[in-house]
Amino acid sequence: MTQDVNQNGDFSHYIDKKVKVLPIQNSLLLSANPVYSCQLDGKGKAFPLDHQGEATIQQPCWIHLDFAKPETIDWIKTTNLIPDLVKDELIKPNQISKETRFDTGILVVMRGVNYTPNELPDPIVTFRFYITDNLIISTRHQQIDAISKLKENLEQGIGPVDVADWLIQVSELISDQVNLSFDGVHNKIIKLEDLVLNQRVFSHKEIGRVRKQLIVLRRLLSPQRDIFVKIATERISWIDDNDRQRLHDISNQQSHYVSDIDSCLLRLASIMEQINSFLAESTNKRIYLMSLFTIIFTPITFITSLLGVNLAGIPFSEKEWSFIGLIILLIVICIVSAIWLKLKKWW
């Protein structure tokens, strides 16, 4: 085995001399106990794997595995159909989106969402697959809506005709789920903006949930748009110019969505500012109203307190000028307080 390493130490290209592009016996694939398996007929449909059949370039096979099953893990670790460097990647539970090139195929890890209407955030799913001229091996643990849709396409006769078409359709379906999730979040933002225009205040938790979903979607889309470009630029025999153009189109679409997500994050920040402005204005109105009540009742309170003062306990209470002296003392205290506030520039 030889391997090329880039300057950062990452393995960007692997060449495994053990992997040969030869017909593969279907019985070897069925021993993996796949959750779904089929053989493409080259016309958009698929038929179940036959133990006596073979996977060829004209009619490639696809097996979909649950990597959490012990028998599936054992098959992946022992089979000679997969390069050793791919085996661990197919069963690793937590991964980031990436693409690794081999001499006969590519390993791709994609992350997406299972779009659920009126529910935020949408569940995150991870999908891994190794694809060659005549074989597709994909793994997952959670149910993936995009794969269910691909199965429906095969049943209807509009599915992939070869491995390159399978790669593109899977990429489009996973992207469509992410785009549906973004459209749902975008509609939620429009509703929040309408509420703000009507000066209706709502909980910050609602904005927090929407913002979290946008951040998750951006983290999904940003690396995957680069993956599609990278695959399109790889020199792979089973990917033609038309396939490369379709991959570029998917990447461009995701770039637009990333820009839209950035715009939505700015709109959410603007909504937060407007809500804070409404709250501040409402608080100021309440304080102003309380100040008016204070201004109205302060003279009344002062007069009633003054008339109700008990002079018997204060010094010089027996003198005739004691009450006038008390009033003068209060006036002096008020003047001193006003001067002090003026010097402090609080008034």
> How far apart are the C-alpha atoms of 96 and 10, rounded to whole Å?
14
Position 245 confidence tier, pLDDT thresholds 50, 70, 90? very high
Q: Same structural domain for residues 338 and 238?
A: no
CB atoms near residue 56 (< 10 Å): 16
pLDDT at position 24 over 50: yes
- Final residue before a domain boundary, out of 278, 307, 328: 278
Q: Are residues 273 and 303 in the same domain?
A: no
- Cα 271 from Cα 281, distance rounded (Å): 15
Higher pLDDT, 196 or 136: 136
pLDDT tens-digit readout, 154-183 = 999 999 999 999 999 999 999 888 888 888
Q: Domain for residue 249, yes or no?
A: yes
Q: Is the pLDDT of residue 19 over 60?
A: no
Domain-embedded: residue 283: no
What CATH code is carried by the domain that includes residue 70? 3.30.460.20
pLDDT of residue 281: 84
Q: What pLDDT shows up at residue 277?
A: 85
12-43 in b/e form (b: 16+ CB < 10 A) is eebebeebeeeebebebbbebebbbbbbbebe
Rounded CA separation 160/298 (Å): 83
Domain extent, residue 311, equals 288-343
> What are 87's two structure tokens?
């085996």
- pTM of the complete model: 0.74
